[in-house]
Structure 1
Amino acid sequence: MKKISIIFILFLCLSINFDLKSQSYIGVRGGVNIPSVNFSNFVSGPVIIGFKTEYFVSPSFGISYRNMQSDKIGVQADLNYSTKGWGQLTFMETNTFITKINYLELPFYFHWQLFGTERFKFFLDAGVYVAWALSAEQVIANDLDLFENQVTYTVENDNRGDFGIYGGAGVSYDFSIFILQLDGSFKSGFANILPVNHFIKENPNVSTNQVPSVQLSLLFPISKD
């Protein structure tokens, strides 16, 4: 993580030093996540308990600010309300537990417009994000009495902070009065959302957010230097 942060800061400094006219944009974005959590195996006494993942779709929406230092490269920051979490099947796959964690999330990243025409662009994004859990809930899909191997998360007792790396790619079209953008992204967390206790093996040693997403954005020009 330290090496990634150093490289990111160096690229940021280089981008700011472009002696070219810049263009700023502000906009809104919305889309869906397909979240999961990277769990290591649980240990219950001498028995290692496997984890059966069940995927689900959750919302993500927010606002964006972009500053293009040239016609190719810029920096962008988003402020999102994003639902992450995980789904878990029981041993016999007869029930599903969906844990939804609602985050206030701040991705900060480089935006490279790689190629395209004057209006239609292909781009890549790369950077980092930080997030803070606001609330959490668990939904049981079937029989409430089938309470097998359930993993719980609460904002009161578990880790609320999250951070990691961010990457994405997509296409955009400039309509002059606004830019319409469609992109896919992936966030890989470094912070465990469940506390690790090496003396009591109730939680896994690893529990990090992994979130692929698809978003649609509208960006409006606000200034040109």
Structure 2
Amino acid sequence: MKKISIIFILFLCISISFEAKSQSFVGLRGGINIPSVNYTNFVRGPIVTGFRNEFFIAPSFGVSYRNMQSEKIGVQIDLNYSTKGWGQLTLLETNTFITRINYLELPFYLHWQLIGKKKLKFFVDAGVYVAWALSAEQEIANDVDLVENQIIYSVEKDNRGDFGIYAGAGVSYDFSIFILQLDGNFKSGFANILPVNPFIKENPPISTNQVPSVQLSVLFPISKD
């Protein structure tokens, strides 16, 4: 998958350098994440620790730049403040831990306007993203002293960098002075957010971000070649 990402980045660079009639846009975007982390059962001390996800909603917002190389295809880069993390439900379903990790995130992707009329268009996006953890916090829903199977994340001790693939689809409408867009997207991470030590099996062997999101964007034209 990492090789696919590298090839995709090269393809994006070629697309940007391609000289054709183009139009550029800048905009604002905001929406919600429903984040989770891809954990598996793992050895924690003398026992095998199970994991149950508890989903929650988190914010994501930022700015966008899009360059359309033609009426159908272009490239886009976003700069987002995005909250990820996971919710963990104890095995007896008696307590919930919500871990929020706040990232500065940079998705970079191709934007295809597949079908539609002059104003209303349907599109798909595909690309990659990189992110850096800025801060983290944890919320315990019930008993603070009940720490069954709790996993702790710390920006000081754990992996702050994240990268992966980005895919999305949606609909947009051109109001001439701006474009209003609604899309759903999914980011699947490659990097473990918790360090893995084969000699000390306190952390799960896999801990990658998996984030579906719904976003609303407003894009304003700034240039046309």
Output the TM-score relative to the length of structure 2: 0.96
Partner of 1:140: 140
Partner of 2:158: 158
Query: Counterparts of 1:24 and 1:223 in 2: how far apart (Å)?
Result: 5
State the shift of 1:5 in Å.
2.5
Asked if the contact 1:15/1:73 (under 8 Å) is kept, the reply is no
- After superposition, what is the alpha-carbon deviation per residue over 1:167-217, rounded to whole angstroms, capped at 9, x for unaligned? 000000000000000000000000000000100000011100000000000
SS at match of 2:5: helix
- After superposition, what is the alpha-carbon deviation per residue over 1:54-109, rounded to whole angstroms, capped at 9, x for unaligned? 00000000000000000000000000000000000112101100000000000000
State the shift of 1:143 in Å.
1.9
State the shift of 1:10 in Å.
4.7
Asked if the contact 2:180/2:218 (under 8 Å) is kept, the reply is yes
Query: Counterparts of 2:118 and 2:14 in 1: how far apart (Å)?
Result: 24
State the shift of 1:44 in Å.
2.5
Partner of 2:126: 126
Query: Counterparts of 1:94 and 1:2 in 2: how far apart (Å)?
Result: 39
Partner of 1:35: 35
State the shift of 1:145 in Å.
2.3
**Bigger mean CA deviation after superposition, 14-23 or 30-39:** 14-23
Asked if the contact 1:18/1:70 (under 8 Å) is kept, the reply is no
Query: Counterparts of 1:84 and 1:16 in 2: how far apart (Å)?
Result: 30
Asked if the contact 1:163/1:191 (under 8 Å) is kept, the reply is yes
**Bigger mean CA deviation after superposition, 9-18 or 145-154:** 9-18
* 1:181 pairs with 2:164: no
Query: Counterparts of 1:108 and 1:23 in 2: how far apart (Å)?
Result: 17
SS at match of 2:203: coil
- Aligned pair count? 225
Q: For structure 2, which runs of at least 5 residues remain unmatched after alignment? A: none
Distance 1:44-1:17 versus aligned 2 partners, 3 A rule: closer
SS at match of 2:186: strand
Q: For structure 1, which runs of at least 5 residues remain unmatched after alignment? A: none
Query: Counterparts of 1:62 and 1:112 in 2: how far apart (Å)?
Result: 21
Give 1:37's aligned amino acid.
V
RMSD: 1.3
Query: Counterparts of 1:44 and 1:66 in 2: how far apart (Å)?
Result: 46
Asked if the contact 2:16/2:75 (under 8 Å) is kept, the reply is no
Distance 1:78-1:45 versus aligned 2 partners, 3 A rule: same
Query: Counterparts of 1:30 and 1:87 in 2: how far apart (Å)?
Result: 22
Give 2:38's aligned amino acid.
N
- Report percent identity of matched pairs: 80
Partner of 1:44: 44
Distance 1:135-1:13 versus aligned 2 partners, 3 A rule: closer
Give 2:214's aligned amino acid.
V
- Following superposition, which runs of at least 4 residues in structure 1 exceed 3 angstroms of deviation? 16-19
Give 1:55's aligned amino acid.
F
SS at match of 2:121: strand
- After superposition, what is the alpha-carbon deviation per residue over 1:115-159, rounded to whole angstroms, capped at 9, x for unaligned? 000010000000000000000000001122222111000100000
Distance 1:103-1:9 versus aligned 2 partners, 3 A rule: closer
State the shift of 1:48 in Å.
1.5
State the shift of 1:9 in Å.
3.5
Partner of 2:217: 217
**Bigger mean CA deviation after superposition, 86-95 or 96-105:** 86-95
Give 1:93's aligned amino acid.
E
SS at match of 2:64: strand
